[in-house]
Structure 1
C-alpha cells in the first residue's frame, strides 16, 4: 500500500473506528456518550475536507512555502533511513512549536480552540480541527524544513502521518504504557493536554513524541488524584458546527473592536488566549480566560 493510498483511506477508517468506539461505550459499557458532539465533529471534518479544502484556495502560508522552496539551502533526497529520520524529527520539532503557539498565541488559538471545545474525550473528537487553519497560516511553522531542503510534499505527508498517529491518543480507556511514556506521546499525556484543570493546562504539545516537552519544560504527567476535566476553561455550550468553528474568531473580533490603542490590538491578536490590558485584568493567563502578558 502506498503512502497516498494510506492517507486516502485514513479518513473513512478513523471515522469508522470512532463510530465503533461510540457504539461500544453506549451499548456495551453502558456509558453516556455525546452523539451530538460526535455529529458536530463529523460535520467539521467532512466540511473541511470536501468543501473548504476543495473550494477555498486561500492559504496565508503558501507564499512563504513557495519562497522557501525556491531559495532552499540544499535539496535533501529521501533515499535512506537517515534522511527519513531527519524528516521525522524535524517535522516533530516544528509541530511542537506550532502546537505551543496554537495555545499561547490567540491568532492561532482561534482555530485550535475548535479541537479543544468538546467536553468529552474520545476518538470522535480527534478529527475536529476547524475550517480556518489555512487562512490563519498554520503551515508557516513548517517553512524552515522546506528552506533546509525537504520537499513540501514530503514535509506535509510527514505531518499527515503525525496527525494520523495522534488519532488513537484521544481515549480514556488506554492506561499508562510504562517506559513508552518517557518517549512517546500517549493517551495519558494527551488526556492532560486536553484537560482544562489549572494544574494541567497548556502542556504536552508533542505530536508522536513527548521528548521536546520534557526538553523545553512543558511536560505535565497525569495524576491519579486529579481527574482530567475536558473542554475550554469557559465551556462552549453548543453543538452547532458553525458556532464551534467561528466562536473564538467572533470573540477576537469583538475584543479588537474594543481595543483603545494599537498596542491593545496587538495584545489581543498575539497575546495568550484571554489576554486583557493590565489595568483591567484580574487573574493570571489561562486558556480562554482573562490574563495579563
Structure 2
C-alpha cells in the first residue's frame, strides 16, 4: 500500500504534465483534441481509481501466489528473462481480460468508464474503473504460474505494463510503419475506442498487437472511416462515480423488471448491451445509431465555472498527494484514518463533477464534503498530521473548507440563472 502510494506520487506529475502538453500542442497546431471539462472529468476518474487501489478496495478470488503454489511445474529464478516472460504473460492475460470485458454484460461495467469519453486523448487513458471490486481474471496468468515465475516479479512488472499503455491514447501520432505489425500504436487504439460499426470490439491488445492478429480481433484504421469515440449508450455526465455504476444499475433494473425468470438470470452473461425484449420495449434507452450525427455531451461552462473547476482539481491533487506521501503516518493514527481520507477524496470528486454537470445538488455534495472535512479536522485537531510538517497549512485548509461551499453555491445559482435564461430564449 505504502510502496504503491509512493510510485503514484512520482507518476502523477508526469501524467499531468503530458496531458497538459498534449492540450498545448493541439492548440499550437490548430487541432485541440482536449476539451477542458472532459479532461478534468478524466483526471478525477484517475484520482478515484488510484485512491481505490491504494485503499485496497478489491478482492482477488484466486491470488497469483496461490496459483503458483498449486500448478508450478518448475521455478525460475529472478533473472532478466523472467521479467521478459512475466511481461509477455501479463500482456496475454490483459488481452483476454480486456476482451471479456467487452463481450459480457456483467464485465462491461468494469471497463465502460475507460471508453466513456467522447474524445480520444492522453487524459482519457486515466479513466479507469472503481467498480471492479472482485478480480476474476488472474487465471489467465496460468502460463506464468506453470513456469513458477515469482509473485514479486509480477508485482514489479504489472505497473510497468499498465503505465506503458498511456502513450498511445492520442490523435497526434499517425501510423508508425513496421511498428504497426508488432506493438499497439495510437492508430490501433483509436480503432479500439471508436463506435463505428467497422471498428466495434476490435484491437483488444495492450502492448503486443500480435494477440489480435492471432485471435481474429484485429482491425486496421481505415483512411476513409474516421473514428468516432465514446460508447453507443452515452453516459451524459462528467461524474466518474456515476459513470462507473451506470451500466450495473441498468442491469439491476432490467433484471428486476423482466417478466421471465430466464431473462432475470441470463441478462448478466448475455452479450454486452443485450436487454430482455419486454423491458427494452417498455423502458427504452437511448443508443447512438449513427455515429456521424449525434450531439456530444458538452453542457455550457462559463469562464468562472472552468476556473473554479481547475482550482478544485488542484485542491484535490494537493489532498491526494499528501495522502500518498504520508499514508504510513496516516494509517498509524487509527485503523479507519486512511478510509476516512479516501471518503473525503471521493466526496470532493463527486461534488466537483456534479457542479460541472450543472446539477443543483452540487451544493449539497459540496456542503457534505466540507462539513465532513471540518469534522475530520476537529476530531483530530489537525488535518491528518499535516500541521506538524507545515503549521500554516492547517489554517489554509480550514479557510478552503469554509469558503468552498459559498463559491460552489454562487456558481450553482449562476448556472440556474443561465439555464433559465437559455430556456426563455429558446421559447
Q: TM-score, normalized by length of structure 2? A: 0.59
- Of residues 8-17 and 234-243 in structure 1, the stretch that sits farther from structure 2 once superposed is 8-17
Shift of 1:27: 5.6
User: Is 2:98 the counterpart of 1:91?
Assistant: no
Per-residue Cα deviation, 1:116-162 (whole angstroms, up to 9, x for no partner): 000000001111112122x1425434442563222333224323222
- Of residues 13-22 and 168-177 in structure 1, the stretch that sits farther from structure 2 once superposed is 13-22
User: Is 2:55 the counterpart of 1:55?
Assistant: yes
Total equivalences in the alignment: 279
The 5-angstrom pairing of residues 171-182 of structure 1 reads 171-182=170-181
Quickly say closer, same or farther: Cα 1:138–1:40, change in 2 above 3 A.
farther
User: Over the residues paired in the alignment, what is the CA RMSD in angstroms?
Assistant: 2.8
User: Is 2:79 the counterpart of 1:76?
Assistant: no
Quickly say closer, same or farther: Cα 1:67–1:278, change in 2 above 3 A.
farther
The 5-angstrom pairing of residues 112-123 of structure 1 reads 112-123=111-122
User: Would you say the 8 A contact 1:68–1:146 is kept in 2?
Assistant: no
User: Would you say the 8 A contact 1:176–1:188 is kept in 2?
Assistant: yes
Aligned counterpart, 2:205: 206
Aligned counterpart, 1:140: 138
Q: 1 or 2 for the larger relative contact order (CA 8 Å, sep ≥6)?
A: 1
User: Is 2:8 the counterpart of 1:16?
Assistant: no
Runs of 4 or more consecutive aligned structure 1 residues displaced over 6 Å after TM superposition: 3-7, 278-282
User: Would you say the 8 A contact 1:192–1:222 is kept in 2?
Assistant: yes
The 5-angstrom pairing of residues 28-43 of structure 1 reads 29=30, 31=32, 33-43=34-44
Q: Where does the alignment leave 5 or more consecutive residues of structure 1 unmatched?
A: 283-287
Distance in 1 between residues matched to 2:200 and 2:181, nearest whole Å: 20
Looking at secondary structure, tell me which structure has more helix per residue: 2
User: Would you say the 8 A contact 1:114–1:128 is kept in 2?
Assistant: yes
Please say which structure displays the higher CA radius of gyration.
2
The 5-angstrom pairing of residues 191-230 of structure 1 reads 191-230=190-229
Shift of 1:78: 2.3
Q: TM-score, normalized by length of structure 1? A: 0.84
Shift of 1:97: 0.4
Residue 109 of structure 2: SS of its match in structure 1?
helix
Aligned counterpart, 2:157: 158
